Structure 1
Amino acid sequence: MRVNIPTVLLTRKGYSLVSFNFTKTIIKRYHGIPFLNLYQKVTGHPISDDIMPTLKRRHPNLDRISQEQIEYVLQILNKFGITALEACHNPHVFSMNVISMENYGDILKECGFIKIKPEYIIRYHTIVRSRTIAYLKKEGLLRQDLNLEEVLQNCFLDWPKNQKPLNEFSDSTTSIYPTNTKLILENVKTLAGYDIREAIRIEPAILKNNYNSLLEIKNTLQAYGISEEAQRHCLRAYCMCPQTIQERLEQLKDLKEYQILSTNPRVLSLVVHKRKMMSRLEKIQSAKKQCYSLNHLVSSTKAFNNYINSFGSKVWSKDIAVLISSCIQAKKVKNHESSATNKENEQSKLRKAIVQQLKRHKYWLHSSLYIINENLQYLNEIFYGDVIVNNCQILLYPLTEIKQYLEFFLMKRNHNKAKNIVVELDGGYNNLNYSDLTDDQILSLVLYEIEKRYHFSGDGIWSKQDGVKTESPNLSQQMMHH
């Protein structure tokens, strides 16, 4: 803020006092409030002190909006031709849910609005529910010759024209909302395995999207291998822009942390909250936390701060069980088909069996998902799922130790020529017939030998924890790349 302060300077010249008036300028900057800095930047002047109380009363969250949030909102608004100046004159857009805001803009754009203004997005529900199409045309928001139903039908370019019947809605009695809802109910039969009506009942915000976008999202999720079970855990994904879903999945697919959690039923929450997830992964690495759960990446700020500031680190039990069960289940169901319901029931039983086994290790919740995943990739090449489940505590230990003992026992059983493997065993193995060992017994022996080294204390899982981070891709570089 620029403040002019008159200053009087008195000096003696000869025998008289002469006064000189100066103007002292103070420039007030709002370094701690990004919105106020943006306003001053785009308008060329600050918000006056007499307006500030009213602004804070009407928009109490403005002073808590970060620079990153502001840039993201401006990026979305730019899609619809809305400038930063227009946004500053309608500050409520910065307090809106960005997913809803983007959906509102997309629907207005696809409905053929001549110009999309911030106030249309802010008053979206009034415009789409309470204003008839005839009213919108009269006010100049829509072209007079526009057939809204035909415009929406034409979104399906690959549909034959004879499969696009028009209901000939009356402009004077119909608003955008029922038109969009009717088209969704007619053209989208199911979402995430739910009947469309049930999906809307669970997540009413689906109606904020248009039916073409819903089908695009459905196809995209299927193409990226997102199961219907995972979709049911996060129907909110169907409230987003299909291009956003596509872009985020494409960016995340090469991220190791996402790959490890990709079989988790809640994986879509990582897509919906991608920006939050990437920011938190950066903080987790900076804090040198070895263990994290999906819940840590998408939970409330309070819950995450408690985790990041607490001593040590702990994994959510379900994340471990899901990771193990999903990796080994793929081998078990490869040779036979079963219904989706049966698969979910089988996996649920498998997770319970895994948890029961892992609970026997007192530190099992302090193991890194990186290590567990690395061990799974290695052991899956050698053993079938039930063998791994019966000895799944072995997944908690460093891969180097597992390989050392496993290669030795496999070599002895298969009578291979001795490799350069040095393993010290006690005399109890002298009379053992290695040829008779089953896969289950070999893995049990490997686990036994590893645990024996640490006097069966379970401390062996800590031996290589410091190396976990070096095995993970540099997150900062990945964030810059994406």
Structure 2
Amino acid sequence: MLLFNKKIIFQIRRYSHSNVHLKILQDAFGLAVPEANKFLRNIRQTNTDKFSGCIKMCRNLGFSDEEILEYPGLLNGPPMILEQHFMTLEEGGFHTITPYILLKYRKFFSKSIKDLKTDHLIKKEVNVAKSFASYFDPQPDANVMNYDEFTDDQQWRDVHYRLLKMYLKWRLQATSEEIDLLFRIHHMVHNKSVRLLCENIHLALEVGLTLRRIVKSGYILHSYPKYTKEVLRDFHNIAGGDLKKAILGCPKLFMVSPKNYAKIYGILKEHNISDETIRNQLNIFQLSPQTVKYRLEEIENTPELNILKHNVNFLKLVVHHQRAKSRLSFLQELQMKCLPLSILSQDKPIDTHVRNGMDINKLKDVLALLKSLLGKDPKHFEKSLRRHPFHLAVPLQRIEDTFDCLVKMKFQSDAICKVVSILLYPRSTIKAALKEVRSNPILGRCVTSQFQKLNLVLYTIEKKHHFTGNGVWLDSSNDITTNSTNKD
């Protein structure tokens, strides 16, 4: 049944994409519906943006509409790959690059230079190695390249591959072993256009990445320079943060497309994530928009994590989501109720935290929650809060639950802020104390403000515990669970 449903969903999506593709073809080429439908039978591309992008790219490369319609396969891949293959062929001496050659790129890529010259794709007088090398920027030192070792009997791709390795060894000041490892890990570099490769290195250095960092983070080399330039121009100050500085700490941000930056920022805003929180964790943009959306939704359905949403470091739970879930499960098995964000998200071992039985919050987590609930800067309540001996020992969920209870009873945030310690107590305890205060006719006449009333409630609770602060534990084990289904 599940497979059947997935098949139906796939067919619906494909039908939807086909309709959009049909409209694009009609607008771009003026095709009638029957002609457009016939053309679409050869199209595997389901992404409408890429589909229209390929049409635009083919036109930019100089192909006529008739040529594009003759070779529909050109529209099945990412536009940037079309451009890269075209540039590489151009760099390698191809004097005329037709749609057929571009479509069958891999076939010609594997041919010997001699065969390519026999087929009149490369002129006989062209030295392919020197043709590739002429596009290096900056040009390597004279002793770096030995063009005599290249012959027309070699495969065109082997010449390209070996030249790239020689150049990168010189340009990145790396060892042969490091370059071999880079090529082994990052296969996309093998087919990279010389111009795009050089531009990526230039942009990486411009951002502030060192040559050593580029060697260690080889994925930088198969970025798409046009995207990087657009990102550095349009998103350099995203959420008020410094993107260049963030790239130094997380080079993968160098590769993210402008569209993904915009999509992810939009998703974060839909989930009411503040700019302060976003700029505190700009490496959130290294994830895909789908991943960010899924993880945020999963966190919202996990109360223990969602309670940390107003913490400026909240997005660490999204970036390190699997670790956070695993640690949450582990700590819950140990029946720990206070779950600091730093323990959940950081890669530091939690052995000490567990071994010492430290079932307490971090002060900054508590302050972040109270700042969000009360709408006040912590300077207005931190000193008062810290006077309570157990201000770090109460689960954040219960603090929020108590606040919601007080608000429902019409208490104002200003009054709660002045008696902030009241939020450490279970709602059932507060209700019982409030009932006791109201039933006392003398106290009822004396108390005129919410501040006085909350102070009196706090006094009533702690009087029974000799003002030790132990009132926070009274009936607290199931307070949230019990009252979440019976709030009055």
The residue type paired with residue 151 of structure 1 is: S
Q: 1:221 to 1:37 in 2, by over 3 A?
A: same
Superposition pairs for residues 433-452 of structure 1, below 5 Å? none
Per the TM alignment, residue 218 of structure 1 is displaced from its structure 2 partner at its CA by 2.2
**Conservation of the 8 A alpha-carbon contact between 1:203 and 1:236:** yes
217-226 vs 93-102, greater mean Cα deviation: 93-102
Q: What residue number does 1:140 align with? A: 120
**Conservation of the 8 A alpha-carbon contact between 2:88 and 2:193:** yes
Q: What residue number does 2:95 align with? A: 114
Q: What residue number does 1:331 align with? A: none
**Conservation of the 8 A alpha-carbon contact between 1:208 and 1:239:** no
Instruction: Provide the C-alpha distance between the structure 2 equivalents of 1:192 and 1:117, rounded to a whole number of angstroms.
Output: 37
**Conservation of the 8 A alpha-carbon contact between 1:294 and 1:319:** no
Superposition pairs for residues 397-408 of structure 1, below 5 Å? 401=377
Per the TM alignment, residue 153 of structure 1 is displaced from its structure 2 partner at its CA by 1.9
* Partner deviation per Cα, 1:386-422 (whole Å, 9 max, x = no partner): xxxxxxx99x9999836x57xxxxxxxxxxxxxxxxx
**Counterpart of 1:116 in 2: which secondary structure?**
coil
297-306 vs 226-235, greater mean Cα deviation: 226-235
Q: What residue number does 2:43 align with? A: 59
The residue type paired with residue 181 of structure 1 is: Y
**Conservation of the 8 A alpha-carbon contact between 1:99 and 1:239:** no
1:276 matched to 2:260? The reply is: yes
1:186 matched to 2:166? The reply is: yes
1:166 matched to 2:154? The reply is: no
**Counterpart of 1:288 in 2: which secondary structure?**
coil
Per the TM alignment, residue 133 of structure 1 is displaced from its structure 2 partner at its CA by 2.0
Instruction: Provide the C-alpha distance between the structure 2 equivalents of 1:318 and 1:141, rounded to a whole number of angstroms.
Output: 51
The residue type paired with residue 238 of structure 1 is: L
1:303 matched to 2:291? The reply is: yes
So what's the TM-score if we normalise by structure 2?
A: 0.53
The residue type paired with residue 23 of structure 2 is: N
**Counterpart of 2:242 in 1: which secondary structure?**
helix
* Partner deviation per Cα, 1:339-388 (whole Å, 9 max, x = no partner): xxxxxxxxxxx9749998998339949979xxxxxxxxxxxxxxxxxxxx
Q: What residue number does 2:183 align with? A: 200
Q: 1:200 to 1:168 in 2, by over 3 A?
A: closer
The residue type paired with residue 27 of structure 2 is: K
Per the TM alignment, residue 224 of structure 1 is displaced from its structure 2 partner at its CA by 0.3
Q: What residue number does 1:91 align with? A: 72
Q: What residue number does 2:450 align with? A: none
Q: What residue number does 1:316 align with? A: 316
Q: 1:200 to 1:365 in 2, by over 3 A?
A: farther
Q: What residue number does 1:249 align with? A: 232
5+ residue gaps, structure 1, are 1-28, 321-349, 369-392, 406-422, 430-449, 459-482
**Counterpart of 1:263 in 2: which secondary structure?**
helix
Q: What residue number does 1:360 align with? A: 361
So what's the TM-score if we normalise by structure 1?
A: 0.54
**Conservation of the 8 A alpha-carbon contact between 2:17 and 2:47:** no
Q: If each structure's strand is expressed as a fraction of its own residues, which one has the higher value?
A: 1
Q: What residue number does 1:82 align with? A: 63
Tell me the matched-pair count: 331
Q: Percent identity?
A: 14
**Conservation of the 8 A alpha-carbon contact between 1:216 and 1:242:** yes
Q: What residue number does 2:206 align with? A: 223
**Conservation of the 8 A alpha-carbon contact between 1:108 and 1:116:** yes
**Conservation of the 8 A alpha-carbon contact between 2:136 and 2:194:** no
User: Given the alignment, which residue of 96, 99, 109 partners 1:128?
Assistant: 109
**Counterpart of 2:148 in 1: which secondary structure?**
coil
* Partner deviation per Cα, 1:129-177 (whole Å, 9 max, x = no partner): 1x22232233332233322112122224654784454226332x12320
Per the TM alignment, residue 199 of structure 1 is displaced from its structure 2 partner at its CA by 0.6
Instruction: Provide the C-alpha distance between the structure 2 equivalents of 1:188 and 1:50, rounded to a whole number of angstroms.
Output: 46
Q: 1:73 to 1:51 in 2, by over 3 A?
A: closer
Instruction: Provide the C-alpha distance between the structure 1 equivalents of 2:283 and 2:204, rounded to a whole number of angstroms.
Output: 21
Superposition pairs for residues 259-274 of structure 1, below 5 Å? 259=242, 262-263=245-246, 265-269=249-253, 271-274=255-258
Per the TM alignment, residue 217 of structure 1 is displaced from its structure 2 partner at its CA by 1.8
Q: What residue number does 2:192 align with? A: 209
Per the TM alignment, residue 215 of structure 1 is displaced from its structure 2 partner at its CA by 3.9
Q: 1:90 to 1:31 in 2, by over 3 A?
A: same
Per the TM alignment, residue 210 of structure 1 is displaced from its structure 2 partner at its CA by 4.0
Q: 1:99 to 1:139 in 2, by over 3 A?
A: same
Per the TM alignment, residue 241 of structure 1 is displaced from its structure 2 partner at its CA by 4.2
**Conservation of the 8 A alpha-carbon contact between 2:18 and 2:40:** no
* Partner deviation per Cα, 1:7-51 (whole Å, 9 max, x = no partner): xxxxxxxxxxxxxxxxxxxxxx99963322232334332353796
Superposition pairs for residues 141-156 of structure 1, below 5 Å? 141-156=121-136
Per the TM alignment, residue 124 of structure 1 is displaced from its structure 2 partner at its CA by 1.7
Q: 1:425 to 1:175 in 2, by over 3 A?
A: closer
Q: 1:424 to 1:218 in 2, by over 3 A?
A: closer
Q: 1:296 to 1:243 in 2, by over 3 A?
A: closer
Between 1 and 2, higher relative CO (CA 8 Å, sep ≥ 6) is seen in 1
183-192 vs 143-152, greater mean Cα deviation: 183-192
Q: If each structure's helix is expressed as a fraction of its own residues, which one has the higher value?
A: 2
**Counterpart of 2:246 in 1: which secondary structure?**
coil
Q: 1:45 to 1:98 in 2, by over 3 A?
A: closer
RMSD: 5.0
Q: What residue number does 1:44 align with? A: 30
* Partner deviation per Cα, 1:95-139 (whole Å, 9 max, x = no partner): 32444333212211222322333333332221111x222322333
**Counterpart of 2:200 in 1: which secondary structure?**
helix
User: Given the alignment, which residue of 21, 28, 33 partners 2:19?
Assistant: 33
